Structures are given as structure tokens and as C-alpha cells.
């Protein structure tokens, strides 16, 4: 040997114990995190509006609330979702009067939804497959409760795995 200090060699037995003892536990934690239901996330109540609300009102609501989407209701049930992407793709550059056009004309009608009991992994998969950044969370009768966003999921994962 050249006489240099090698902390791994000197502590090889304890090093290997740490590696082999913790690895399966951390994999289990990952699995538990992904299988946790959406009710475990710190979701804010959904911001909702009626389908006949003007685009200007809804966009102002989004801006003031610092949110990326608004759920649209009819008779207490989810009718659609209006998002930042809709502003870019369906409003800007179009001949639309923001004061006279109701959000119901440009929203995504009948969006896919999640329930509070659905697994976080299911939400991630739905968002990835569908290209969604926001997914409505409803009760069994279709009443809007929350919106789960990519930011919510990223925050949850960071919280669970600092």
C-alpha cells in the first residue's frame, strides 16, 4: 500500500451496511409516496366560475389569485376548465372580445378528472399521457373540489424526498 488514508476501505463494513440496509427502505418510501392518495397533497380549494362569466373577469380572477386555471361550473357540477394554455392557444391573436365572450365558449369542456382517493402516481400518469398541467379534482357527483397541478405534485415529491 502507498500509505494514503482510504475512509471507505477502513469503514467498509459499516459503509456496506448503510448502503444495503437503506436502499430497500428508500425504495419502499418511493412506492408509498407514489401510491398515496391525492387527499394527502396540500391542495387549495378550486376557484370556480360560471360558464357565462366574461373572459376578462376570468383572466383577472386567475391573475389576482396567482393561479393557472379556473374550473367552470354549471348547476354545481364541473362543466369545464379554463387554463393559461387556453389563453395562449384560444384567445390571444383571435378576434375575441374579452368583455362579451363567455368563458364557456373557449374552455375545455368535460375535462378528465381525478378523485381525492386516486393515487398520486395515477395523477402523474394522466398528466403525462394527456399533456395536462392542471387536472380538476371532483367528488363522486361531479362537484369541483380542487385542481391538482404539476407544481402541487413537484412540491409533494420534494417534501417527501428532501
E strand residue ranges, 11-154: 48-50, 69-74, 77-83, 108-109, 134-138, 144-149
Quote the cell numbers at residue 147: 385542481
Q: What percent of the chain clears pLDDT 90, i.e. is strictly above it? A: 71
Contact partners, residue 114, CB within 8 Å, separation at least 6: 38, 122, 123, 126, 135, 136, 137, 138, 148
Report pLDDT for 4: 59
Report pLDDT for 27: 41
List pLDDT tens digits, range 36-78. Answer: 999 999 899 999 999 999 999 999 999 999 999 999 999 999 9
Residue bearing cell 374579452: 98
The average confidence (pLDDT) of the chain is: 86
Q: Measured between alpha carbons, how far is 59 from 54 in angstroms, rounded to an integer? A: 9
Report pLDDT for 59: 97
HEC assignment per residue over 114-162: ECCCCEHHHHHHHHHHHCCCEEEEECCCCCEEEEEEHHHHHHHHHHHCC
List pLDDT tens digits, range 14-29. Answer: 544 544 444 444 443 6
User: Half-sphere exposure (CA, 13 Å, Cβ side) for 59?
Assistant: 17
Residue 59: phi, psi to the nearest 5?
-65, -40
> Per-residue pLDDT averaged across 140-146, rounded?
96
Q: Measured between alpha carbons, how far is 54 from 50 in angstroms, rounded to an integer? A: 9
List pLDDT tens digits, range 80-139. Answer: 999 999 999 999 999 999 999 999 999 999 999 999 999 999 999 999 999 999 999 999
Residue 13: pLDDT band with limits 50, 70, 90: low
Both ends of the chain: CA-CA distance in Å?
Answer: 39
Amino acid at each position: 500500500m502507498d500509505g494514503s488514508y482510504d475512509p471507505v476501505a477502513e469503514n467498509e463494513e459499516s459503509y456496506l451496511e448503510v448502503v444495503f440496509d437503506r436502499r430497500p427502505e428508500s425504495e419502499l418510501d418511493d412506492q408509498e409516496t407514489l401510491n398515496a392518495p391525492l387527499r394527502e397533497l396540500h391542495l387549495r380549494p378550486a376557484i370556480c366560475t360560471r360558464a357565462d362569466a366574461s373572459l376578462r373577469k376570468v383572466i383577472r380572477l386567475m391573475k389576482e389569485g396567482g393561479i393557472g386555471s379556473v374550473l367552470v361550473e354549471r348547476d354545481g357540477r364541473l362543466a369545464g376548465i379554463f387554463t393559461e394554455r387556453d389563453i395562449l392557444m384560444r384567445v390571444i391573436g383571435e378576434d375575441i372580445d374579452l368583455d362579451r365572450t363567455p368563458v364557456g365558449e373557449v374552455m375545455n369542456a368535460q375535462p378528465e378528472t381525478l378523485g381525492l382517493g386516486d393515487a398520486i402516481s395515477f395523477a402523474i400518469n394522466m398528466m403525462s399521457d394527456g399533456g395536462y398541467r392542471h387536472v380538476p379534482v371532483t367528488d363522486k357527483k361531479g362537484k369541483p373540489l380542487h385542481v391538482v397541478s404539476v407544481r402541487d405534485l413537484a412540491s409533494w415529491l420534494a417534501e417527501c424526498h428532501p
